[in-house]
Structure 1
């Protein structure tokens, strides 16, 4: 008996994986619409929460770090600097967190019918992107107020940073989403990682504050190996550096770390897809 397609049916884990998601874009759109409807069912503000949550987060961080700890005196246009980092960690947090819970959260569908299960992880990423772009609009408007005049290279850096961030988030989401079906501890581990991610990248402080304490040795290398760190710096170079009055100094070997982040993100995506497809056949029975 063939282990592949039999009478039009495909054994879980034997399909095209993420390629099936591309081929079945209509199904993906349906899942995205379902996720958005479920999220905002009975909500008064609806999609306005895409603005409310990051706005509150920004105000809290700005006053706690910028005003009370006087970071706004150390960093010119600290509001733009801060929000450029916040949109990165918010997208990563939502995409990674929701993708981790995607299979368990759609257990009714997983147990009843077969469809490419990667649809649920990609849908979580898409929903995060839906919430990311309104924040990006706010960031652009705020940067323009502060005299934002980016070059083509800086705009390209922002696009590159978002691409790396997307690949990294999806890879981790596939990996932890598959493991979470077997071990629900994965959700708690993800929450812990997301908390660390906010502080383990230069969102609330500058990279120079890190080198002043640890230098540019082993700890600095470990710090830069986190893909979020160079991605946040790319967003800073794209949105904060071109604002009026800013004298931006790039971190040492930034482009080297960007290349490493791109390779790391790609490897994480490949690993995540391999683990996901390996465990795919067990999802229905484990749920």
Structure 2
């Protein structure tokens, strides 16, 4: 008996294994996702329909301000599809990133009372974001079919890759800022600012060529290396480009260089976030 106990692999109480704990606790993960949805829509009349209302209002405002008043719709065929395909992505990124940055503080009572793998809180924000992303994607697909969408397998694969890049990037940033927010509450205030900046420095409401025409080469390379830029352009390649009747100039080396680089950046973000989480999660309860 003594030998059996001595040979066991013990861990310090209150410390988990980061992402390695998630596959073993899928039931808890589903409960956390359900909890977040119930809390968010408690007392709400529209409920999940808010997933349509917010992007719908954003689309109308941006389309009128940029497409009609600034005439961007004249330079881009099917500008409505171009714009909406970017809006659904940045909304998903903003929700996953923002909720990830606030999840540990927001669940402080649970963290202080019981122990469960705490990275589940961060992963659950991705699940909630995907649930809200699905109806917006459905609207985008309907609009695509209306204007004559004819994608190939390569373009559909690019959409999946773009979604994976954005998910990893949002999760990694959310984890980094979520850990920081436990110790410095100012961190969550930076999230909304970053999302606003990233929205405007990504080709969501304008074509990337506008940056190429005016930015120096080094700034253009930095712009194209942004994982959000890559994800948005991959979505444009999948959902907007197949609706055009003319050849569209994709960013140079989008598939051969910028996409692999964005994958690396997103994965590095996840690794850094996971390392920070493992290092500091043992102090969460006392800090909260």
CA distance in 1, matches of 2:246, 2:175: 39
Is residue 238 from structure 1 mapped to residue 248 from structure 2 by the alignment?
no
How far off is 1:119 after superposition? 0.6
CA distance in 2, matches of 1:58, 1:185: 30
How far off is 1:64 after superposition? 0.5
Structure having the higher helix fraction is: 2
CA distance in 2, matches of 1:77, 1:259: 28
* 2:3 paired residue number: none
Is residue 43 from structure 1 mapped to residue 38 from structure 2 by the alignment?
no
How far off is 1:224 after superposition? 1.5
- Deviations along 1:12-57, one digit per CA (max 9) or x if unpaired, are 33x2211211110000000000000000000000000000000000
* 2:13 paired residue number: 11
Is residue 167 from structure 1 mapped to residue 168 from structure 2 by the alignment?
yes
**Alignment root-mean-square deviation, CA:** 1.4
CA distance in 2, matches of 1:244, 1:222: 28
CA distance in 2, matches of 1:86, 1:246: 23
* 1:134 paired residue number: 135
More deviation in 103-112 or 241-250? 241-250
The answer to whether the 8 A contact 1:168-1:266 is kept is yes
- Deviations along 1:57-105, one digit per CA (max 9) or x if unpaired, are 0000000000000000010000000011111111100000001000000
CA distance in 2, matches of 1:35, 1:246: 44
Q: How does 1:1-287 map to 2 (within 5 A)?
A: 11-13=13-15, 15-215=16-216, 217-255=217-255, 256-287=257-288
- Deviations along 1:227-263, one digit per CA (max 9) or x if unpaired, are 1011100000000000042431111111211110000
User: How many aligned positions are there?
Assistant: 281
**Unaligned runs of at least 5 residues, structure 1:** none
CA distance in 1, matches of 2:246, 2:264: 31
How far off is 1:10 after superposition? 5.5
The answer to whether the 8 A contact 2:168-2:270 is kept is yes
The answer to whether the 8 A contact 2:17-2:278 is kept is no
SS, match of residue 53 in structure 1: helix
The answer to whether the 8 A contact 1:157-1:237 is kept is yes
Scaled by the length of structure 1, what TM-score is found? 0.95
How far off is 1:225 after superposition? 2.1
The answer to whether the 8 A contact 2:100-2:174 is kept is yes
The answer to whether the 8 A contact 1:161-1:231 is kept is yes
How far off is 1:5 after superposition? 6.5
SS, match of residue 214 in structure 2: helix
CA distance in 1, matches of 2:226, 2:164: 15
The answer to whether the 8 A contact 1:178-1:279 is kept is yes
Scaled by the length of structure 2, what TM-score is found? 0.95
**Unaligned runs of at least 5 residues, structure 2:** 1-5
SS, match of residue 243 in structure 2: coil
Consecutive aligned runs of 4 or more in structure 1 exceeding 4 Å deviation: none
CA distance in 2, matches of 1:243, 1:131: 25
CA distance in 1, matches of 2:115, 2:9: 12
